[in-house]
A and B are shown apart, each in its own frame.
Chain A
Amino acid sequence: MWSMIVRQSTWCVRNRAAQLRQCATSAETSRRYDLFAAICVERAPLLSPALTKLEQTVQHCLQKMDAERSLRCDHEMKADLEKRSKGKKSEEEEVKLVTVQELEDSWMDNAKDFKTEARDGKLERPLYLVAKSVGRVLSDCIGDGKGKNWQVQVLGNAPASVYTFKYPTPVAQKANSVGGKIFFYKGIFSSPTGHDLSDEALLHKDQPRSSEIQELRWVTCDELKELLPEKYWKSVHVLIPPEE
């Protein structure tokens, strides 16, 4: 079962819950919920995404408009002058000056030599961390949120959304509570030194994983939708920006 990183309710909550159970009537105890906290860990995109078709058209249009309304620069004036004075200058002078055409050619050659790395689709999109486990996830995957080269900053003290679920009757009787409430927090995964593309892997290496967690994976929004159960996804969905 896939879920966001879940941390079992803190000690103070359990304590308080126990206290309440002791002094509450039987009617109230039956409505007690177990509390869980979960963190939606997001790694922001590393590369700006490629322009969509509309964006490309608009950019082309605006660039053209800018060029039309601009004045000619020194480079263009020089090119114009050279065109007009073709054949009028002596050979000596022609050899000395670097023509505009030659400059442009050398620039184009330099541009060709500059190669950028191939883009990986995953780099352009935000990724979310999911953990696969047997049954409920009970252990801490990100520890206290800091690693050698990475950190997860939890935004604020207040939970961002909640997912309530009810236990089936036998479980409810054993746990002495009706169900559970998972409170989601938003966490931003970042590298303070400057993001290396393999930073996500560091998280996997750093944390000693408990036996409960079978797998940790970084997924995009669409994959997340497929992995999580529907009602769970609805609570998580609100934390994800609408462009996804």
Chain B
Amino acid sequence: MFRSLINAAKVARPESLSLVGAFRALHVSPVVMAEPMKKKKRLDPAIVRAREERKKKKLEKAIRKLEKHAKQLKPIEEMEVPYRLRTEIPMRTRKLPPMTAEELENRIETLKEWARHRGKVAIAEASWIEKMVQAQDKALQELRKESEELYQAAIQIDPELLPYRTKGCVESAPISNYEPADGYIHDVSRKWTS
């Protein structure tokens, strides 16, 4: 500390003298009145270990608490039924006239017919897929008969095929000169972050 002060003073030009760096090293200790230095007590290793153990346990407890928080499922706001509606259920149930046997018969008949129709459609689609696979196998066979080179090229995987994307059809044709309603979307959904 004193050396740095002396070195600072030895600087040739007095205007560039800066003792700030040197003064940083100065510290003031409490007044000791010439008392000799006390010996540093060597802590009992057991106590030291105990202290570290306690710190570790505290941290682990905190981690467990956060994990528990993460396991909790985020609530789906659309699924939560407001309490008010739950109490109003008896008021809101419809009072309908009893269904006639005829009506019931018609309903069952309609639904059964629909099930039959969908079954046929499923079978037709499955059989079409099978036919397509068979046709493709035959085509590849014929190709192989003619040219092995082309066959090898044909069975290569097309990297552009997947992912295959297509947009579904809409219900009505686009209306000419249609001006859609304007507006902004302001998302107010709650974000659940731990």
A interface list, Cβ under 8 A from B: 12-13, 16-17, 32-33, 35, 44-48, 54, 57-58, 61, 65, 68, 70-72, 77, 115-120, 123-124, 153, 155-162, 164, 181, 183-184, 188, 190, 194-195, 197, 235, 238-239, 241-242
Instruction: Please give, as numbers and ranges, the residues of chain B lying within 8 Å of A116 by CB-CB distance.
Output: 172-173, 175
Q: Out of A57, A68, A117, A190, name the residue touching B110 (CB < 8 Å).
A: A57
Say yes or no: A158 contacts B140, CB within 8 Å: yes
Say yes or no: B169 contacts A190, CB within 8 Å: no
Contact of A160 with B136 at beta-carbon distance under 8 Å, contacts A45-B169, A119-B172, A197-B173 already known: yes
- Nearest A-chain residue to B157, judged by Cβ: A157
Say yes or no: A68 contacts B94, CB within 8 Å: yes
Closest beta carbon of chain A to B131's beta carbon, Å: 5
Instruction: Please give, as numbers and ranges, the residues of chain B lying within 8 Å of A155 by CB-CB distance.
Output: 158, 161
Contact of A117 with B111 at beta-carbon distance under 8 Å, contacts A13-B147, A158-B136, A164-B142 already known: no
4 A-B pairs besides A159-B140, A160-B136, A162-B138 with CB distance below 8 A are A17-B147, A44-B169, A58-B113, A72-B92
Q: Out of B143, B147, B173, B176, name the residue touching A162 (CB < 8 Å).
A: B143
- Nearest B-chain residue to A76, judged by Cβ: B92
Say yes or no: A35 contacts B156, CB within 8 Å: no
Instruction: Please give, as numbers and ranges, the residues of chain A lying within 8 Å of B23 by CB-CB distance.
Output: none
Of residues 107 through 160 on chain B, the ones whose CB sits less than 8 Å from some CB of chain A are 107, 110-111, 113-114, 117, 124-125, 127-128, 131-132, 135-136, 138-140, 142-143, 146-147, 149-150, 153-158, 160
For the complex, what is the distance from the CA of A35 to the CA of B175, rounded to whole Å? 47
- Nearest B-chain residue to A156, judged by Cβ: B158
Instruction: Please give, as numbers and ranges, the residues of chain B lying within 8 Å of A156 by CB-CB distance.
Output: 158, 161
For the complex, what is the distance from the CA of A12 to the CA of B146, rounded to whole Å? 13
Say yes or no: A44 contacts B114, CB within 8 Å: no
For the complex, what is the distance from the CA of A46 to the CA of B172, rounded to whole Å? 9
Closest beta carbon of chain A to B90's beta carbon, Å: 10
Interface size for chain B: under 10, 10 to 19, 20 to 34, or 35 or more residues?
Answer: 35 or more
For the complex, what is the distance from the CA of A238 to the CA of B174, rounded to whole Å? 32
Q: Out of A33, A48, A118, A162, name the residue touching B170 (CB < 8 Å).
A: A48
Say yes or no: B146 contacts A239, CB within 8 Å: no
For the complex, what is the distance from the CA of A162 to the CA of B150, rounded to whole Å? 14
Q: Out of A12, A13, A71, A117, name the residue touching B175 (CB < 8 Å).
A: A117
Greatest chain B CB density within 10 A among A115, A160, A195, A238 is at A238
Closest beta carbon of chain A to B128's beta carbon, Å: 5
Contact of A181 with B173 at beta-carbon distance under 8 Å, contacts A54-B113, A190-B166 already known: no
Say yes or no: B146 contacts A162, CB within 8 Å: no
- Nearest A-chain residue to B154, judged by Cβ: A158
For the complex, what is the distance from the CA of A241 to the CA of B128, rounded to whole Å? 7
User: Does residue B89 face the partner (Cβ distance < 8 Å to A)?
Assistant: yes
- Nearest B-chain residue to A183, judged by Cβ: B139
Say yes or no: B96 contacts A181, CB within 8 Å: no
Say yes or no: B161 contacts A159, CB within 8 Å: no
Contact of A157 with B135 at beta-carbon distance under 8 Å, contacts A44-B166, A72-B94, A183-B143 already known: no
Contact of A162 with B142 at beta-carbon distance under 8 Å, contacts A48-B169, A117-B176 already known: yes
Say yes or no: A160 contacts B132, CB within 8 Å: yes
Say yes or no: B146 contacts A35, CB within 8 Å: yes
Say yes or no: B110 contacts A160, CB within 8 Å: no
Say yes or no: B173 contacts A119, CB within 8 Å: yes
Say yes or no: A47 contacts B170, CB within 8 Å: yes
- Nearest A-chain residue to B99, judged by Cβ: A68
Say yes or no: B107 contacts A61, CB within 8 Å: yes
